[in-house]
Amino acid sequence: MVHTIKQSKPWDEQTLEERAADMNRYIDELKALDEFMEKQKAEQKAEQKAPPREAEIVEFRADRVLSEVELIARQAALDAAWERKLQADRERGAEEAGRYGQFAHRRPQDPDWPGRRY
């Protein structure tokens, strides 16, 4: 974007005070533009930020030494929770690929991967 100084009269006809006033007005306009752009960036960043996912809490009693069977049961519960998380990630990835697949550059083998040598 090109921004020009709105001068009260041509530059060569201005006094130093008039030039300084024009430059100060220009600087104020640039500051206001910078503030506006920072506000816009902050709003866009806030909109793009995804809300945190709820964590799944797997509870166990740890007040005593666990037997082998209890340890196996605990590990099975953790594995099941992990598999649910992985499945949710796969589903979310498939959903995103469906929405953005035509625009995404996911790997170097894609024909439209930036930097691919033909």
pLDDT one-digit tens code per residue, 68-91: 898 899 899 999 999 999 999 898
**pLDDT at res. 84:** 93
* Average pLDDT score, the chain: 79
**pLDDT at res. 55:** 78
Structural contact between residues 30 and 3, judged by C-beta atoms closer than 8 angstroms: yes
Structural contact between residues 8 and 14, judged by C-beta atoms closer than 8 angstroms: yes
Structural contact between residues 3 and 29, judged by C-beta atoms closer than 8 angstroms: yes
Per domain, the residue ranges of the chain are 1-49, 52-104
d(CA 7, CA 18): 9
Helix H or strand E encompassing 100: helix 68-100
- pLDDT surpasses 80 at 97: no
